[in-house]
A and B are shown apart, each in its own frame.
Chain A
Amino acid sequence: MIGTIIKRREKHLYVAIWFYIATLVTVAVLHIVNSFELPVTAFLKSYSGYAGVQDALVQWWYGHNAVAFFLTTPYLGLMYYFLPKAANRPVYSYRLIYCSLLVADIYLHLGRSAPLAVYLPARLGTGLGVRPSPSC
């Protein structure tokens, strides 16, 4: 994908492409951080690098944003490409799409409010008035 972007002929990156890039980068970061583990044998056995509440926090930060950046942003980008094509008219507001991309990035902060089956101190919440829920 990066190689395709580098050898492009169109200078401007249509906003859908920023959604694709956001997907690529964020999914990579999510997996790297969430998969931080300590090997305990030479082969195949390892334990999470986090413990207890910290582990739960990281795992649901991953889980929440896996939904946001694997199920949502790539398809938003695809919709901004295919929907105008299907409707046979341009997007209503190109600028508004940039705003929606920013909203998606703010959403990355909300990961800590995702369904946690543990009690988490409120100060580890989003700081946006959304407290981590102890049940679901």
Chain B
Amino acid sequence: MEIHRSDINDEADVKRLVDTFYDRVNADPLLAAVFNDVAQVNWPHHLPIMYRFWSSLLLGTMTYKGQPFPKHLPLPIGKEHFERWLELFKLTWGVVGMTVGLTVALQLVFPAFNFDLQYTTFGRIRPLHTNAVIFAFVGNGIFAGVYYSLQRLLQNPDVQRHPELDQLLGLATHHSGGRHYAAPGHYHLQRIRRTGMAHRHCHYAWCGWCLAGT
């Protein structure tokens, strides 16, 4: 049976596209929860806006007048979602990059894995493997890890607090009067007493090393 697929030519086609998409959204447990429980979307009101938005994009009708960004800001899409997003990207790129790595490794033993195509030869896809693993996999890992740890280490006001972790790293001791064995403040007092060197001098020395190195 041949399925008829038409191009999107008029408003009716746009409506069919939008309806089909949001039917699927409502069938998805994760996304449906955000739309219905959290945002409590009023579908009869919302769908015509979506029709106008997509017909403006696809048909150039310019019937959509609105700012989608402020609408999404109050949604509970927070730092933890962004962290999860980066972590998932890291995992996905890890699988992609290492699959390519496995392929190039196999090529060294079994030449058939070159598939007799110039695009799949070792020389072509080995850089793909290293780029994917280093910059995509490792890079997303850096983003995720630094994004997570930096805000907690700096006790930024809008981050979810982890008091037991702060305690562990000795960073909360100034405020809580807790154990001092890893407290950086304590460490610096000791060092200044011993060397007479203020903390910032250490930073100048460090910058000097970097400049000399480059």
Which residues of A come within 8 Å of B, CB atoms?
1, 4-5, 7-10, 12-14, 16-18, 20, 22-23, 25-26, 29, 33, 66, 70-71, 74-75, 77-78, 81-82, 84-85, 88-91, 94-95, 98, 101-102, 105-106, 108-109
Question: How near does chain A come to B7, taking the closest CB pair, in angstroms?
Answer: 33
B184 touches A81 (CB 8 A): no
Asked if B181 is at the interface of the complex by the 8 Å CB criterion, the answer is yes
Known A70-B134, A90-B169, A90-B170; judge A82-B149 contact (CB<8 A). Answer: yes
CB-CB under 8 A for A71 and B213, given A8-B155, A12-B185, A82-B145? no
Q: How far is the CA of A66 from the CA of B154 in the complex (A)?
A: 27
Instruction: Find out whether the CB atom of B146 lies under 8 angstroms from the CB atom of A78.
Output: yes
Consensus secondary structure, chain A interface = helix
Complex formed: what's the CA distance from A33 to B171 in Å? 37
Measured as residues with beta carbon below 8 angstroms from the partner, the interface class of chain B is 20 to 34
- B165 contacts which chain A residues (CB < 8 A)? 85
B157 touches A9 (CB 8 A): yes
| Chain A residues positioned under 8 Å from B157 (CB to CB) | 9
B214 within 8 A of A: yes
Could you say which of A14, A29, A71, A106 has the most chain B C-beta atoms within 10 Å of its C-beta?
A14
Contact between B188 and A17 (Cβ–Cβ < 8 Å)?
no
B171 near A10: Cβ-Cβ < 8 Å: yes
Task: Known A85-B165, A90-B168; judge A17-B154 contact (CB<8 A).
Answer: yes
Contact of B149 among A7, A78, A98, A106 (CB under 8 A): A78
Residues of B within 8 A of A (CB): 134-135, 138-139, 141-142, 145-146, 149-151, 153-157, 165, 168-171, 181-182, 184-185, 187-188, 202, 206, 209-210, 212-214
Distance between Cα atoms of A17 and B31 in the complex (Å): 36
Is there contact, CB below 8 Å, between B171 and A12? yes
- Min CB distance, B212 to chain A, in Å? 8
| Besides the known contacts A71-B138, A84-B169, A90-B169, 12 further A-B residue pairs in the complex with CB atoms under 8 A apart | A10-B171, A14-B171, A74-B142, A81-B169, A85-B168, A85-B169, A98-B202, A101-B206, A105-B209, A105-B210, A105-B213, A108-B210
Cα–Cα distance between A9 and B174 once the two chains are bound (Å): 12
Residue with the greatest number of chain A CB neighbours at <10 A, chosen from B138, B153, B187, B209: B153
Q: How far is the CB of B145 from chain A (nearest CB, A)?
A: 4
A4–B150 contact, CB under 8 A?
yes
Taking a contact as CB atoms under 8 Å apart, the answer to whether A102 and B209 are in contact is: yes
A14 and B206 contact, CB distance less than 8 A:
no
Give the chain A neighbours of B151 by CB distance below 8 A: 4
| Given A12-B185, A90-B182, A1 contacting B153 (CB threshold 8 A) | no
Question: Quick one: which of A29, A74, A90 contacts B146, CB cutoff 8 A?
Answer: A74
Instruction: Give which listed residue, B141, B145, B154, B209, contacts A106 with CB less than 8 A.
Output: B209
